[in-house]
Amino acid sequence: MTVARSFSPEGGRRHVVVIGAGAVGCATAIEALRAGLRVTVVEPGEPGGPQATSYGNAGWLSSHSVVPPALPGAWRKVPGWLADPLGPLALRWRHLPRALPWLLRYLASGWTEARVQRTADALRTLLADAPALHAQLAAEAGVPQLIERRGLLHAYRSRAEFDGDALGWRVRRRAGVQWEEWPADELRRREPDLAARYTLGIFVPEAGHCRNPGAYVAALAQHALDAGAERVAARATGFRIEGGRLRAVRTEAGEIACDGAAICAGARSDPLAAAAGSAVPLESERGYHVVLEAATAGPRTPTMVADGKLIAHWMDGGLRAAGQVEIAGLEAAPDWRRAEILHAHLQSMFPSLAPPAPGAPSVAHWLGHRPSLPDGLPCIGPSAASGDIVLAFGHGHVGLCGSARTGRLAAQLLAGVAPEIPLAPFDPGRFRS
């Protein structure tokens, strides 16, 4: 359905509006239907389309991605970030005044190893069994082939390079993550196309991968509709709250009367959160990808290389490389040089690939917006203005991975059921000070 109309509760059945049809929104809609709620999804774009954040990400279901981006000593790298617009993390000068408060909080969140460990322990509760949860959702949606559970690989050039990441791996181990070490000969056997400079592999067996995140999200959206959800193709603009109770979600096409709502609008969630009384410091960590449709070499296992800070794997449609972070806001024009850098990294990782040919029709570029909060944790919990409105966004680099359990948690809150994991670390109110 694409025309907004007034929906009212019927027969005592609680009616909830899910704002956003990305990975989190679709999972929330499915789980809310499973809980017996009446569901309307509000989404202006096509679920899983190129405008969606999940469409172009690396597809990692990395249940071990519990270490926040900022670690102790990260502040020393800020001058380098500002000086290198094409580095793994870049800041555009024009956006710096707006991003500075977020960046300061980002650095403070990883100031000590103890803080990093607290974040990791919280994220682990959200991500631990993500591949299994996604496999279940994909099977229900009729696309089981899109979820693979073959582990993920981190490749290092040397033991010394791995030791440079020792804090992160130490934190992961304490959070319950286990891995295997592949020495140079084992790495060569397992990944014959990988450049010889990589001599150590860290393989995480528990992790998984999605072969086509856009198609997966589209299938989840259709599954929700088939299960009874309504869809309104409009942009949500706010809420009508009376006496602390939600009465309606406001959209560009009119009001939708309802008893509850979930804000799952990704990087565009902060105005809605503010309208619900919960101002949060949300920023877009812009990410790029490149897809080589006719690639003839590449990884056997989804692989991240430490020296390039990018992920490469075969997806439906070709060999995709994704990664890097650009802080420039939602509206700045893409800097496609960053996608070309990913292309060059792919060529370096897999020397038998054909030489880069920028602009060739067999090379696709894309830009998306990771919704990120400065402490590396999403917001999952009720809003300040009304407990009828649930916030479920801000997952940063683990949005697709964390979406399955987040959908369960948001639906539990909407249904008045005790959440299955502690939500205190994800409380939207943590930013009030």
Q: What is the mean pLDDT of the chain?
A: 93
Q: Which long-range contacts (CB under 8 A, 24 or more apart) does 115-118 make?
A: 116/67, 116/68, 116/71, 116/72, 116/167, 116/171, 117/171, 117/174, 117/175, 118/425
Shortest CA distance to 213 belongs to which of 55, 20, 396, 24?
Answer: 55
Residues 178, 334: Cα–Cα separation, whole Å = 38
Residues 179-217 pLDDT 10s: 999 999 999 999 999 999 999 999 999 999 999 999 999
Q: What is the pLDDT of residue 432?
A: 87
Q: What percentage of the chain reaches a pLDDT higher than 90?
A: 84
User: Per-residue confidence at 80, pLDDT binned at 50, 70, 90?
Assistant: confident
Model confidence at 4: pLDDT above 50 = no
Q: What is the pLDDT of residue 232?
A: 98
Shortest CA distance to 400 belongs to which of 157, 58, 128?
Answer: 58
Q: Look up residue 410 and give its two tokens.
A: 């948001």
Three-class DSSP category at 302: coil
List phi, psi (to 5°) of 308: -105, -10
What average pLDDT does this structure show over 418-424?
A: 98
What average pLDDT does this structure show over 169-180?
A: 98
User: Per-residue confidence at 11, pLDDT binned at 50, 70, 90?
Assistant: very low
Q: Residue holding tokens 């794997």?
A: 313
Q: Which of 152-166, 261-275, 360-374, 379-393 has the lowest mean pLDDT?
A: 360-374
User: Per-residue confidence at 247, pLDDT binned at 50, 70, 90?
Assistant: very high
User: Which domains occur in the chain, in start order?
Assistant: 15-53+215-279+375-431 (3.50.50.60), 67-124+148-206+283-372 (3.30.9.10)
Three-class DSSP category at 228: coil
**Residue 243, C-beta contacts closer than 8 angstroms, at least 6 positions apart:** none
User: Per-residue confidence at 10, pLDDT binned at 50, 70, 90?
Assistant: very low
Q: Residue holding tokens 């602390």?
A: 244
Q: What is the pLDDT of residue 153?
A: 98
Nearest-5° Cα angle at 406, 242 to 144: 130
Q: Is residue 249 within 8 Å of residue 390, measured between CB atoms?
A: no
**DSSP of 99-126, one letter per residue?**
HHHHHHHHHHHTSSHHHHHHHHHHHHHH
User: Per-residue confidence at 12, pLDDT binned at 50, 70, 90?
Assistant: low
Q: What is the pLDDT of residue 74?
A: 82
Residue 217 C-beta-side C-alpha neighbours within 13 Å? 29
Shortest CA distance to 429 belongs to which of 394, 388, 379?
Answer: 379
Residues 364-390 pLDDT 10s: 999 999 999 999 999 999 999 999 999
Residues 105-151 pLDDT 10s: 999 999 999 999 999 999 999 999 999 999 999 999 999 999 999 99
Of 340 and 389, the structure prediction assigns the larger pLDDT to 389
What does DSSP say about strands 310-315 and 303-305: parallel, antiparallel, or unpaired?
A: antiparallel
User: Per-residue confidence at 249, pLDDT binned at 50, 70, 90?
Assistant: very high
Q: Is residue 428 within 8 Å of residue 391, measured between CB atoms?
A: yes
Q: Residue holding tokens 């198609």?
A: 215
CB atoms within 10 A of CB 354: 13
Q: Look up residue 77 and give its two tokens.
A: 């790298």
Q: What is the pLDDT of residue 93?
A: 83
**Residue 241, C-beta contacts closer than 8 angstroms, at least 6 positions apart:** 247, 276, 385, 386, 389
Q: Is residue 249 within 8 Å of residue 235, measured between CB atoms?
A: no
